[in-house]
Copies of this chain bind each other. A is one copy, B any other.
Amino acid sequence: MILEVAILDIKPELNADFELAFNDAQSIISSLHGYISHQLQKCIEKDNRYILLVNWQALEDHTQGFRASPEYQQWKAKLHHFYQPFPEVEHYSLVMENTNNVGNC
């Protein structure tokens, strides 16, 4: 499993529009081969910043499958105009974790 990480800085005054657009766009990635799960989270310290975390089965499911798909053009049309600057996307693989307390809070 691979974690896609994108820190998204949104143009001033467009947070609400971006959240609406993302809510609409998220079904695009959810339907793709290799997609596992995603979260959009909003930064507490910087008002126009979000982080997108997407779990994919394999790196290529994102870098090749998604980016070469017709769905990517829809995703781009719905979301890319909100970003300033355009985000750098990175991928990560799990080293270690502790999820023992999840569900106990």
- What residues make up the interface of A, taking CB atoms closer than 8 Å to B? 1-3, 5, 19, 22-23, 26, 30, 35-46, 49-51, 53, 55, 57, 59, 90-102, 104-105
Task: Chain B residues near A23: list those with CB within 8 A.
Answer: 96
Copies in the complex: 2
- Given B40, B43, B96, B102, which contacts A22 in the complex, CB threshold below 8 Å? B96
In the complex where A35-B101, A101-B36 touch, is A96 in contact with B26 (Cβ < 8 A)? yes
Q: Closest CB of chain B to A47's CB: distance in Å? A: 12
Is there an interface contact between B101 and A41, defined as CB atoms closer than 8 Å? no
Task: Chain B residues near A50: list those with CB within 8 A.
Answer: 92, 95
In the bound complex, what is the Cα–Cα distance between A43 and B5 (angstroms)? Answer: 10
